[in-house]
A and B are shown apart, each in its own frame.
Chain A
Amino acid sequence: MESLSYRHTTPRAAAGAKSSAIIGVVASGNLEVLVERVLPPTSCEIDIRTSITGFGDVWQAVVGDFVTKASPGGLRLSINDGGARPDTVLLRLAQAVRLIEGAP
């Protein structure tokens, strides 16, 4: 198992007031994302647990891409990964932010 953790600053906080949300399932090619509004408004953290080791560079790039697009300020996103591809990871991260922002 590998644990990865990335901290970023963001220009603004994520919208909405919900304190947490969950999306996804830990299954082959899939992942779950637990998102919690627990950080200062311009900080975000993405914590990953994965059994597929050695892809730190890919995770870093995916996370950086996501943070730039979503500006998830104030949010900690915790991932349990079942071996998902980068596009699935991006999808779930985006879904998680939409859920906690209360968007339909």
Chain B
Amino acid sequence: MIDRADMMLPPSWYEASARRRLAALLDPGSFTEFLGPEARETSPHLGIFDLPVQFDDGIIVGKGRLDGSRVLVAAQEGRFMGGAFGEVHGAKLTGILRAARDNPALPVLILFDTGGVRLQEANAGEMAIAEIIRAAVEARLAGAKIIGLIGGRAGCYGGGGIVAACCSALAVTEQGRISVSGPEVIETNRGVEEFDSRDRPLVWRTMGGKHRYLLGSAAAFVEDTPAAFRAKAVELLAAAPGLSLDTLRAEQARLAERLRRFGHAKDAVDIWQALGINDAAALPGLETEDFLALAQKVRAGEVRR
């Protein structure tokens, strides 16, 4: 449901529900959902905590078309339980990835929006992450492409961040964040002097989309719109690298080089300056076009996974 006022503004990926994102990303009318809300496959565990369930357990999986080509999709709803992985939620993604393994002509688009593992189902969520990782690797070894799209309000944290790095390529927006430990956890563990979780510029410098793009963690940086993600997804699918022992060796070298160049950096600003960006302080404020123009010149090695 969109009222007329919404239609005046370009739709924001960040603000949109998972269902809206899918509807806008895929070719109109092409989406078929698997185990949708009518199936009522809800969490068997949330009741122990007197928490309400959601009929799709916070993830929508199905198939559709992207620019005419068949794709499998999984979209996390970041506003339900923080988009976190529970038993059913995770299993839906595992099933999608195993299908891609068995039919590698079907690429997978994962619309990440997750705080990580759902604490109330922590052990089941952790197992889901493990099974998803294995299924993703199997799929990619079979030749399937997996593209991750990151720009939702929950970010891509914890086990979700590890799954993201198993994708063929990632597209991220300025609002997107990718990290294993969240800001509060770092602050609790290391003290506010090392990391003040309420310092939003610090959080975005450290984990946000612009930094991840400059570092080479994400292959693409896009505007916060479904149209931008759609165009980039098509591009990334065409160019997505494979997975093999050779690419793993190249990745080993790339990560070793990253540690060599930036391992002593105290802050993202140090890394950006080392990359040759003269006015690092201005970087967060740059509009997409200017940021991309600057990034193309300096960003760290192209991602080869």
Report which A residues bind B (CB closer than 8 A): 1, 20, 22-23, 25-27, 30, 32, 34, 36, 49-51, 78, 80-82, 95, 98-99
State whether A82 touches B52 (Cβ < 8 A).
yes
Size class of B's contact patch? 10 to 19
B51 to chain A, nearest CB (A): 6
Asked if A27 contacts B79 (CB within 8 A), the reply is yes
B38 contacts A36, C-beta separation under 8 Å: yes
Interface residue B194 (Cβ < 8 Å from any Cβ of A):
no
Query: Do the beta carbons of A23 and B50 come within 8 Å of each other?
Result: no
Q: Smallest Cβ distance from B88 to chain A, in angstroms?
A: 14
Contact A25 B54 (CB under 8 A): yes
Known: A26-B53, A36-B38. 18 other contacts (CB 8 A): A1-B47, A22-B36, A22-B37, A25-B17, A25-B54, A25-B77, A30-B79, A32-B55, A49-B52, A49-B53, A51-B51, A78-B55, A80-B52, A80-B53, A82-B52, A95-B1, A98-B1, A99-B1
B249 at the interface (CB under 8 A from A): no
Chain B positions near chain A (C-beta within 8 angstroms): 1, 17, 19, 36-38, 47, 50-56, 77, 79-80
A-B contact pairs, 10 of them (CB 8 A): A20-B38, A26-B52, A27-B79, A32-B37, A32-B54, A34-B38, A49-B52, A51-B52, A81-B52, A99-B1
A98→B2 CA distance, assembly (Å): 12
Q: Is the CB of A1 within 8 A of B1?
A: no
